Each structure stands twice: as structure tokens, then as C-alpha cells.
Amino acid sequence: MLSAPLVVLLQPRGLAWAGATVAALASFAIALALTIAVLDGQPQVYAMGGWPAPYGIALGVDAFSALVLLVVTGAGAASLLAARPSIDQQIEQERQPLFYSAWLLGLAGLVGIVVSADAFNIFVFMEISSLASYILIAGGPDRRALPAVFKYLIMGTIGATFYLIGVGLIYMMTGTLNLADMEARIGDVVDMNPILVAAGFITIGLALKAAVFPLHVWLPNAYTQAPHMVTVFLAACATKVALYVLIRFDYLVFQAKLADHEVQFALFAMPLAILGILVASAVAMFEGNLKRLLATSSVAQIGYILLGASFVSQAGLSASVMHIFNHALAKGGLFLAVACLAYHYRDLRLDQLGGAAARMPWTCAALVVCGFSLIGIPGTAGFISKWLLISAALESGPWGWGLVAVILVSSLMAVVYIWRIVEAVYFRAAVEGDSQPAEAPLQLLLVTWLVALLNIFFGLFPGVPLELANSTATLLAGFAS
């Protein structure tokens, strides 16, 4: 049952696209099975090597990890399914096996992080996933991908090292690496310096990995320069997994025991989240390159997720977790549509995309649907999480109205930048004379539309993710109070 990471790990050859896709689909199926089991009630636990928990390494899946697991494996499977035509265009034939192999490793790493219940084990899998994603981004067709990757590598390594320092300090004071055990034992040593410093190091390290606002500088370049399909995969899940670890660590280990930690966390996270939302949305409004525009908007969306978490309330958490799911759908769909566009337009600057809607009507329609979901128009998935976020903000106290205003203003900004894309593809005259209809390959288009329809489906029937999000919130908030 719990062999999700193993299935993927055992495919290191990744000989070709087919092998990789089958492995990704298998892990998606396992994730689905796990989710159903979790929905039935009990969290799943698996002891590696048959050793009991604090001595060996345990894996655990509860509602929160099930949801993130769905996002990660779903994004992996969908992007790999669609990847073939786009990757064929961007990467030479003989380098492809290595590329797909790195992709699988990245997927396995992310899955490994999500299912792990052991602080050091999370670090190990973080290393796998980050190394693999450096490789994937370096596969970009442009030489400019390399400096972007180098920046990401340095930032990512600093983030991971900070996390490791924090875990080391906690181990020094508690003698355990298992998260649940850590939570139990940290109570005896709460007010000692090492624990406080460790909390700081872990939070900052993971925030760096998750591209929380002032630490986001690596993200736009890396996403812009990566091969298009890699951007789909990473944008849909990479930063969210870091956020997942951050929220989990913070709520389960620190907030449960450290006095006033929830106040400190809110004071730390909320201003950053608000600044991130506003600044990144503003920057996105004036960005000229389509991919970079969407990447910048990702920073703002991470702000929303963090904002929800910073309320330290059940409603806030449930909104935050919901947004992890919905943003993956919306942004994944948008980047898929971008990959379709890129099939015919090498240059993705907005002023080069005139007349694209006439040439690729289906692609552009999918782009619009996912764009609506990103803005949060009623009837799309994005609306659900924005609505939850606003109601959580209203509950959060006297400042609630201000926060609602922030969310509304930034949604208006989203309207502006999505409208700029729509205007470019629909209403601007074609730059070149060539206006023959030329759709993207069917394989790519089908997956794009599948994701776009899912955006609408989960906008109308948000039952399953909402249930998972709610039980996550109960779980985490139960620890916090």
C-alpha cells in the first residue's frame, strides 16, 4: 500500500518517456488508493525495515499528506503524459533518458518528503528532489538556464543547510528525529535557546525553499528558463511541498509546545504573506514575458497559502490547504497551455503573441479557463479557496477587513495581468503574416483540457479536496490549541 515512493524509486533507469510515464501513473494510482483509505478514517503508517518508530524510520500518511500527495503525483503524471512532444522539441534525443530519469527522481523525492514522518529522512529526500530539479531546469534550451539554475542551486542549498542545522539542534536537545516523538519530547526543553534558534533556522530554511516573499528571487528566473513541461511540473508542486513541510513542522512540533509560538508565527508570516501578494502581483502586471509573468504570480499565490496558515485558525488552515490544491490545478493548467503556445511561438513575450487565438483556438480557450480559476471567478476552483480565505480573514479579528481588502485588491491585479494575456492572444493583430490554424499536438492539448475541465469541476463540486482540507485543519489546529 505505502510503496508510493518505492515504485518510483525502483525505476532509476527511466529509459524512455514510456517507462517514466507508467511509473508516474502508478504512483498516482497509489496516491489515489491512499487517499481513499485516509478518507475512510484512519491515517496510514508504515515502519521501514520493521523497526519501531523512534528507532527506525516511519512513513505516515494523513489527510494533509494525502492531499499534497495527490497534487504531486497528479502533476507528475499529467505533465509526463503531455511531455513528449514538447520535450522532443527542446532536448536532444540521446540526452532524453537521463532527463526522464532525473524527472522520476524529482517526483520520487517530492513524494518521499510528503510521506515521511522523520525529520532527517525529509532532508534526504529534499536533497534528491532538489538535485533532480536543478538538472531538469538546466535542461532548458537557452544558455541563460545555467545562471538561473546556479542561483537556484545556491539558494536551495542554503535553505536545505538551514533546515539541517535546525534539525541537528533539535536532535541535540531531544535525541530523536521522528516527528511525533519529537513533539512529545520537546516539551521538556521548550525554553532552551537551541530550540528557539532551531525553530528560526527551520522556518527560514523552508521559507527559502518555498520562495516565500523576500526569499523568492530564485523562482522567476528558474521557472522562466526551464523547459516548458518542467515548469508545469515544478510550478504545480515543488514549492508547495516545502510549504507543506513548513506548515507541518511548525504546527505539529513547535506550536504544540512552545509558548506563544503561534503569535510569533503569525507576526512573522502575515506581513510577509501580504507583502508577497501585493508586490508580486504588481510586478506581474508589468511583466512582458508570458512565462515570467505566471512565475511571478506564483510568488503571490504562495503568499495566499501562507496568509491562510498565518491565521492559526481552523478556517484559515483549511483555506490554505485548499489553495495548495487549487493553485496547483490553475497554475499547472496555465503552464500547460503555455507549453502548447510555445510549440509554435518560440518567443513568449506578450507582444509577439498577437493573433494566437485565431491560430490555436483550443489552447487559448484553455488558457482563459485556467486564468479565470487563478483570478477566482465563481464556478472555478480558484473561487472556492479565495472564498474560504476571505471568510477566514473575516473571522480572524478586527484586522479582518483590511486583509479582505488586500485579497480583493490583489485579485483585481490578477484580473489585470490575466487580461493582458487575453488581450495579447485574442485582440492583437498577428505579428507575422502566417495565420494558418495550427494547433498544438493532440497529446499536449488533451491533457491541457483535462486540467482545465478539472478546474471547473472542482469549482462546482469541491467535495473531496474540501473534506481533506477540513480534516487537515482539524488535525493541525487541534495540535496548536
Partner 1 sequence: MIFVFALFLLTLLVITALAIVHTENLFVAVMLTSIFSLLMAANFFILDAADVALTEAAVGAGVTTVIFLSALALTGEREKPRVGGRNIALVTVGILALLIIYATFDKPRLGDPNAPVHQHVAPWYLEKTPEYMGFPNVVTAVLSSFRGYDTLGEVFVVFAACIGVLFILGVRPPRESLEPRDESSGLRHHLIPQVVGRLLVPFIVLFGLYVQFHGEYGPGGGFQAGAIIATGVILYALLEGEAEALRAVPRSVLLGMVIGGAMLFGSVGVVCMLMGGAFLDYSVLAADPVWGQQLGILIIEAGVGMAVCGALLSIFHAFAARESLS
Residue 288 engages partner 1 in binding (rule: CB under 8 A): no
* Sign of CA pseudo-dihedral 463, 336, 301, 412: negative
- Does 321 contact partner 1 by CB under 8 A? no
Select from 192-200, 276-284, 380-388, 435-443 the region that touches partner 1 (CB under 8 A): 192-200
How near is the Cβ of 19 to partner 1 at its closest, in Å?
13
Distances in Å between the Cα of 386 and the Cα atoms of 52, 304, 413 are 42, 9, 14
Query: Quick one: 225 exposed, middle or buried, by C-beta within 10 A (0-12, 13-18, 19+)?
Result: buried
* Interactions with partner 1, residue window 13-42 (CB under 8 A): 13
**Lookup result for grid cell 477566482:** 376
Interaction between residue 165 and partner 1 (CB under 8 A): yes
Q: Measured from the CB atom, is 149 or 284 closer to partner 1?
A: 149
Q: How far is the CB of 14 from partner 1 (least distance, A)?
A: 9
Interface segment toward partner 1; rule CB under 8 A; list 101-109, 288-296, 436-444, 453-461: 101-109
Q: Does 132 bind partner 1 (CB under 8 A)?
A: yes
Q: Select 131 or 282, whichever has its Cβ closest to partner 1.
A: 131
Residue 119 binding partner 1, by CB under 8 A:
no
For 96, the grid coordinates are 532524453
Using CB under 8 A, pick the residue from 41, 49, 398, 463 that binds partner 1: 49
Least distance in angstroms from the C-beta of 9 to partner 1:
6
Q: Which residue has the cell 492572444?
A: 425
Residue 377: count of CB within 10 angstroms of its CB: 17
Contact flag: residue 265 with partner 1 (CB under 8 A): no
How many residues interact with partner 1 (rule CB under 8 A)? 55
Residue 56 touching partner 1 (CB under 8 A): yes
Q: Which is nearer to partner 1, 254 or 449 (CB)?
A: 254
DSSP 8-state secondary structure symbol assigned to residue 441: P
If binding is defined by CB under 8 A, does position 98 make contact with partner 1? yes
Return the SS3 of 37: helix
Chain positions 222 to 251 lying near partner 1, rule: CB under 8 A, are none
User: 273, 287, 300, 275: which is closest to 417 by C-alpha?
Assistant: 287
Alpha-carbon torsion angle 389, 390, 392, 396, nearest 10: 130
Is residue 190 part of the contact set for partner 1 (CB under 8 A)?
no
Tell which one of 20, 38, 72, 108 touches partner 1 (CB under 8 A). Answer: 108
E-assigned strand segments in 241-356 = none
- In this structure, the strands spanning 58-61 and 44-47 are antiparallel
Residue 428 binds to partner 1 (criterion: CB under 8 A) = no
Q: Does 138 bind partner 1 (CB under 8 A)?
A: yes
CA 411 to chain centroid: 20
Residue with cell 501562507: 306
Pick from 414, 409, 249: nearest CA to 327: 414
Verify binding: residue 199, partner 1, rule CB under 8 A.
Answer: no
Which residues have a Cβ under 8 Å from the Cβ of 40 and sit 6 or more positions away?
none
User: What counts of helices (H) and strands (E) characterise the chain?
Assistant: 20, 2
The footprint of partner 1 (CB under 8 A) covers 3, 6, 9-10, 12-13, 46-51, 54-57, 94-95, 98-99, 101-102, 105, 108, 112, 120-121, 124-125, 127-128, 131-132, 134-135, 138-139, 165, 169, 171-176, 185, 189, 192-194, 196-198, 200-201
